Every structure is written in C-alpha cells, then in structure tokens.
C-alpha cells in the first residue's frame, strides 16, 4: 500500500510529527504551503480567525493524492478547528482520496470538535486519528503514539 503524509505546519510542530509518521509508514511526505502569510503575531491572529470562520485559502503542494492508497492529513488546530490550509487541501482533493487518516497537534484538549470537522470536510471516516498536544511534541514524548497510530493503518 502506497501512503502519503500531507501536512501543514506554521511553527514546525506538526511538520516534526508528520515526518515521524511518514518514516514509520515508509510514506511520501508533502508539505501543504499556504500562500497567505501566516507568520508572526498578525498571522497567528488572522489564521485563528480564518479557521474559526471555516475559510479556505490558496495552497501549493507537490504530490497528487490520487496516486496513493492512503493519505494522512496532518494539521495544527486553530480555534478548535483545522487550519484553512488543511481544509482547502481536503476540499480540493475530495474524490481523489480513497482512504484517509488525520493527525492533529494542538495546545488544548478538545479532540472531538476538530475530528468531527475533518470528517465533515472529507465526507468520510478516517482509518485512524492521532491527536498530540504541542507540549508532547516539544518534550519528544510522542513516538509511542506515532507507532500505535501507524499500526492502525495496516500498511
């Protein structure tokens, strides 16, 4: 089974975990690049606002998800919702993704709301879901959860 890990990361936290998941799955990695500048304090504020308003954005990627059996979409959580870049990626690739899984990184504890929103956007249940706190990633305490997540994907 051929797998792809597509990720958006503003600060590098989600990228770090996405790379670990890709390594565990022997999957390809594809960065979702948001064309809107999300850097600095203003980017943080407008990003949270855009996530809350469920806005899409203009993105760039390298790989075609239709070429893969499984696509793991990795995103931070902003305002208890997926980022505009992840929302746009999923919306643009509906019908191309045969099997999906989701990975979120977040400062808070609410896993249910972002997962439900990702399912709604994708219009399909994920094969697996991994939620990590930002602190877990910063402390390097996530490898066991990544292995468990990868094990659920049957690759």
CATH code assigned at 127: 3.40.50.360
Q: Is the pTM of this model over 0.85?
A: yes
pLDDT above 80 for 155: no
Q: Mapped to the 3 state alphabet, what secondary structure does the chain carry? A: CCEEEEECCCCCHHHHHHHHHHHHHCCEEEECEECCCCCHHHHHHHHHHHHHCCCCCCEECCCCHHHCCEEEEEEEEECCEECHHHHHHHHHCCCCCCCEEEEEEECCCCCHHHHHHHHHHHCCCCCCEEEEEHHHHHCCCCHHHHHHHHHHCCC
Looking at the structure of the chain, the number of domains it has is: 1
Name the band, by pLDDT with cuts 50, 70 and 90, for residue 154. confident
pLDDT above 80 for 87: yes
Question: What percentage of the chain carries pLDDT values higher than 70?
Answer: 99
pLDDT tens digits for 113-128?
999 999 999 999 999 9
Domain around 68: 3-152
Mean pLDDT across 81-100: 96
Mean pLDDT across 69-94: 97
pLDDT score at 26: 96
Name the band, by pLDDT with cuts 50, 70 and 90, for residue 110. confident
């Amino acid at each position: 089974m051929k797998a792809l890990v597509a990720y958006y990361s503003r600060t590098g936290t989600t990228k770090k975990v996405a790379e670990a998941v890709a390594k565990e799955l022997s999957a390809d990695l594809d960065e979702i690049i948001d064309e809107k500048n999300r850097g600095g304090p203003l980017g943080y504020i407008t990003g949270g606002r855009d996530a809350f308003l469920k806005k899409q954005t203009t993105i760039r990627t390298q790989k075609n998800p239709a070429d893969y059996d499984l696509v793991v979409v990795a995103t931070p959580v902003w305002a208890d919702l997926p980022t505009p870049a992840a929302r746009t990626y999923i919306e643009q690739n509906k019908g191309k993704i045969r099997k999906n899984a989701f990975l979120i990184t977040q400062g808070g504890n609410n896993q249910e709301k972002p997962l439900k929103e990702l399912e709604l956007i994708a219009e399909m249940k994920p094969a697996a879901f991994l939620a990590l706190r930002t602190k877990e990633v910063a402390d390097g305490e996530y490898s066991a959860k990544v292995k468990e997540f990868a094990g659920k994907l049957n690759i």
